[in-house]
Amino acid sequence: MTETLPLARWWREPLWAKGVLAAILAGSALLMSWNLARGGDFAFYEAAARSMSESWRALFFGAFDPAGTVTLDKLAGFAVPQAIAIHLLGMSTSAVALPQVIEGLVTVMACAVVGLRWGGTGAGLVAALAAASTPIFVSMFGHPMEDGLLTMALAVALVWWQRAMLTARWWPLLMAAVFVGVGFQAKMMSAWFVLPALFVGTVIAAPSLRRGLARASALVGASVAASIVWITAIALTPASMRPFIDGSTDDDVFAMVFGYNGLDRFAPGSVPGSVGAPSGGGVAEGLTTLGRAFGSHAGAAAGAGSSPTKLLEMPLVTQIGWLYPAALVGLALALWRYWPRRGRPRDRAQWALGVVAGLWLATSAAVLSATRVPHTAYVAALGVPLVLLTAMAWSEGCRLLRSPRRGGRLVLPALLVVHGVWWSVLVREGQLPAVLAAGAGVVLVAGVVLGVMGAWPRRPRPAFARALPAALALALLCAPVAASLQVLDANRDGSGGDAYVGIPTRSDRPDESFAISAPALWGGTPAISSAVAQLVATARADGGGTDGAPLLVSDTWAISAQIIDATGASVLTDGGYSGHVPVFTASALRTMEQSGRVHLFAVSSGAGKDDPVREVATGPGCHEVQEWRLDGHGEGGEVNKVSQVALYSCESA
C-alpha cells in the first residue's frame, strides 16, 4: 500500500524553522549537560551499570554485581545505554549520565515531529521548546535514571503511531509496538500507561470499526510481546545459569516485574513470590493499605507521594504543572477542530491524536494520583502529552486570531491571563528566584498586551501579524523556561536519586539564593566513603580479589554498591535491594569458603541472627579483622540503615 497522505518532514521545512529547531536542541543539550559531571546516580543502580559494562553475562541479565549472582530489583534495560557508555568512555559520573542527555534530545525531537505533523511548523517548534523547558525533563535527562529511556521510548512510539494513522500502513504500527516494548525494559508496566490511549486512537482513526479493532488489537498484542520477550528469555534460562532474581523470594522474574514492581504497589500480596508480600490479607489488605495512603496529605517530596491530589501540590506540581491550563485548552480546541465531520482521513487521524494525547494524560494522572510516588521523576509520564496539547493550544489560538469573531481572537490572550494567575501560585510555592520570576512576568505581560492588540482589529498590520505568533509562544512558555533555568545552579539541579529543579520545600533545607555555577560538562568520580575505602584496602591486603576471585561477600548492597561503583571490584551480595532476598544460603557460602573461592565477609550492623553471611563469618575458623563506623551520609539509606561494618576472614580447614 502506498502512503495515503503526505508526511511533513523537518528537513523539508524552511531554513529559518530548521535553525530555530537546532537552537532549541542546542539549548536543551546545554541545560541538561550543565552539571553532568556533578550529578551521579543512586549508588545501587550506578554500580549495576558498571557491573554490566564489565561482563556480557551481567549485561544480558541486568546483574547488580560483575559476577552476575543477583539482578537488580527491576528490569535493567535503562542501564544498558549507561553500561555501553562506561565501556566505551571509561567510568565517570558524566559517562553514566550521557546516554540520558541523548535520550532527552531524542524526546525533544520526537515532540517536534509529532507537533509538525499535527499542527504545522509553528506547532512543532512550540512542542520542541515546551519539551526542552519542562522542568522535570531538564533535571531527569541530566541524570542517570530509568525514567529517561521510558520517556524517550514512548515519545518515539507516538511518532510511529502517528505515521501509521496518517499513512494507513502496518509497519509503523509495529514499530510503535517495539518502542513500547523498549519503554517496558526501562520501567516495566509504566510503559503501558499509553496503551489504552493508543488502542482507542487506533480504533477511531480507522475507516471502519472492524479494521480499527484489528489494527488496535495487533498494536496491543505486539506491544505486550515486545515487552515480555526479555523476561521470558530470562525465565527460560535454568536457574543455575543465571543470577538470582531480586525483588522475588523464589527466583521468579515475573513476580519481580508484575508483583514487586507492579500490582503489589496497589495491593500488596496479590502476586505470590514477590518481596514484601504479606503472609496474609492479600488483595483486601492491600486495598486497606491503599485507602490509608489516600488519607495522608503531606507537602514535602517524601510525603506528597501518598496524596491523591499530589499532582496539584508541592513539590510535584512545580516540576510538571506549569502548562496544565494550556493542555486542557489545547485538548478542547484540538477535539473541536479535528472532529471528523467531513470524514476525511486526515481529520480522523488528527482527531485521533488529540484523543490519544488526552487519554494518555488522563491515564497517567489517574495512576499517579492513586499510587505512591516516591520520586519526582515519576511525573515525567505526563510530560509528552502535556507538551503536545500545549502546542495545539498555541496553534489553534493563533488560527483563531484570524477569526471574524472577537471572542475567538481573544482565546489565546485569555489563556495567557489564566496562566499568569496559575503561575503566580507556582512561583510563590516553588521559591522561583526573583530575577527569573521577574523576567517571566515581563514576557507574559508583554504577550498579553500584544495578544489583545492583535485581537482587537480584524486585520492587524502584516508585519505585526507575522511577529505576533512567536511573541505569544514565548509568553506561553516563559514561566517553565524560567523555572528550568534554575538547573544552571548546581544546588537546584536535583540528583540521580530524585530529579528536581529548584529547592524542595522541606523543613531541613532552607531557601537558597540563585547563582549560576561553573559548567561541569565532563568528569566526576563515583563517591566512596573513607570507611568503605579502608575496608577495601584491608580486604585486598588480606588477599581478597586475587586470581579473579571476588573481593569479599557482603550482606548489604549499601557496602557493595560503593565498592563496585568506585572500583569495579567483584563483590558478592546477599539480600538484594530489600535485604530479604535469599541470594545465598549459609551452606552455599560455606562451600564457597571451603573451596577457597572467597574467604572475606563484610557483616553490617543491622544483620540479624539468621543472616547467612553473619552465620558463616562468625562460625568456626573465622575471626574479625577490623570494624569501621560509617559516616552516616547515606550508606544504605532508608533500606539498610547501616551504621558500621565488620570484616571477617575465614581459613578453610
pLDDT tens for each residue of 109-119 = 999 999 999 98
Could you tell me if 224 and 372 lie in one domain? yes
300, pLDDT greater than 90: no
Q: What is the pLDDT of residue 12?
A: 86
571-573: strand order across its sheet? 571-573, 552-554, 600-604, 644-650, 622-629
Residues 164 and 24 in one domain: yes
Q: Are 501 and 486 in contact (CB under 8 A)?
A: yes
Of 114 and 606, the structure prediction assigns the larger pLDDT to 114
Q: E strand or H helix at 650, and its extent?
A: strand 644-650
pLDDT at 276: 66
In a domain, 545, yes or no: yes
The tens digit of pLDDT for each residue in 65-86 reads 999 999 999 999 999 999 999 9
The pLDDT score that the predictor gives to residue 421 is: 94
Give bridge partners of residue 71 from the DSSP assignment: 63
Domain membership flag for residue 227: yes
| H-helix segments, 456-529 | 462-484
pLDDT top residue among 462 and 354: 354
CA distance 156 to 173: 12
**Least-confidence region, from 195-204, 290-299, 611-620, 641-650:** 290-299
How far apart, in whole angstroms, are the C-alpha atoms of residue 440 and residue 462? 27
Give me the pLDDT at residue 339, please: 78
**How far, in Å, CA of 468 to CA of 446, rounded?**
11
pLDDT tier for residue 7 given thresholds of 50, 70 and 90: confident
Examine residue 245 and state whether it is found in any structural domain, yes or no. no
Distance, in Å, from the CA atom of 479 to the CA atom of 297, rounded to the nearest integer, reads: 27
CA–CA dist 36, 98 (Å, integer)? 8
CA 545 – CA 542 distance, rounded (Å): 9
> What's the pLDDT tens digit per position in 485-514?
999 999 899 888 788 998 876 434 445 688
Give me the chain's average pLDDT, please.
86
Is residue 245 a contact partner of residue 231, using CB atoms and an 8 Å limit? no
Predicted confidence band at 5 (pLDDT cuts at 50, 70, 90)? low
Give dist(CA 239, CA 5) in Å, integer.
51
Q: Which range among 230-239, 628-637, 643-652 shows the weakest confidence by mean pLDDT?
A: 628-637
C-alpha cell at 589: 557460602
Q: Please state, in angstroms and rounded to a whole number, the distance separating the CA atoms of residues 551 and 569.
A: 7
pTM of the shown model: 0.91
Residue 257 lies in a domain: no
Instruction: Judge if 26 and 168 occupy the same domain.
Output: yes
- Band the pLDDT of 294: cuts 50, 70, 90: very low
Q: Name the domain boundary from 361, 386, 405.
A: 405
State the average pLDDT over residues 579-605: 91
Domain that holds residue 339: 14-37+92-234+305-405
> Quick one: pLDDT band at residue 287, thresholds 50, 70, 90?
very low
Q: Percent of the chain at pLDDT above 90?
A: 61
> For every residue of 2-70, which 3-state class applies, written as one string?
CCCCCCCCHHHCCHHHHHHHHHHHHHHHHHHHCCCCCCCCCHHHHHHHHHHHHCHHHHHHCECCCCCCE
Which amino acid appears at position 94 of this protein?
Answer: S
> What SS3 class is residue 595?
coil
**Is 344 a domain residue?**
yes
> Same domain for 23 and 165?
yes
**pLDDT higher for 464 or 38?**
38
pLDDT at 389 (0 to 100): 96
The DSSP output letter for 371 is: S
DSSP string, 286-342: HHHHHHHHHT----STTTGGG-TTGGGSTTTHHHHGGGHHHHHHHHHHHHHHS--SS
Angstrom CA distances, 205 to 202, 356, 475, stand at: 5, 11, 33
The pLDDT tens digits for 320-360 are 999 999 999 999 998 888 776 655 556 788 889 999 999 99
Residue 412 has pLDDT above 60, yes or no: yes
Q: Which residues pair with 623 in a beta bridge?
A: 649
Average pLDDT over residues 292-304: 37
What proportions of the chain, in percent to the nearest 5, are helix, strand and coil?
60, 5, 35
| Within a domain: 491 | no
Structure-block grid coordinates of residue 555 = 550482606
Q: What is the pLDDT of residues 350-407, one digit of tens each?
A: 889 999 999 999 999 999 998 888 889 999 999 999 999 999 999 998 888 877 777 7
Burial code (b: 16+ CB inside 10 Å, e: under 16) for 177-195 equals bbbbbbbbbbbbebbbbbb
159 against 278, higher pLDDT = 159
Greater confidence, 638 or 599? 599
According to the model, what pLDDT value does residue 3 have? Answer: 43
The residue from 405, 422, 453 where one domain ends is: 405
The secondary structure of 392-423 as a DSSP string is HHHHHHHHHTT-SSHHHHTHHHHHHHHHHHHH
Question: Quick count: other Cβ atoms within 10 Å of Cβ 121?
Answer: 20
Q: Are both 184 and 322 inside the same structural domain?
A: yes
pLDDT tens, position by position, 137-155:
999 999 988 899 999 999 9
Q: Select from 388, 405, 422 the last residue of a domain.
A: 405
d(C-alpha 337, C-alpha 349), whole Å: 12
Residue 633 DSSP one-character state: S
511 within domain boundaries: no
Q: How many CB atoms lie within 10 A of CB 435?
A: 11
Lowest mean pLDDT among 191-200, 206-215, 262-271, 295-304: 295-304
Please check whether residue 480 lies inside any domain of the structure.
no
- Structurally, the chain folds into a number of domains equal to 2
Asked whether residue 534 falls in the same domain as residue 401, the answer is no
Give residue for cell 523498549.
182
Where is 532: in which H helix or E strand? helix 530-541
Distance CA 359, CA 382 (A): 11
Cβ atoms of 583 and 574 within 8 Å: the answer is: yes
Of 1 and 646, more confident:
646
- pLDDT score of 342: 55
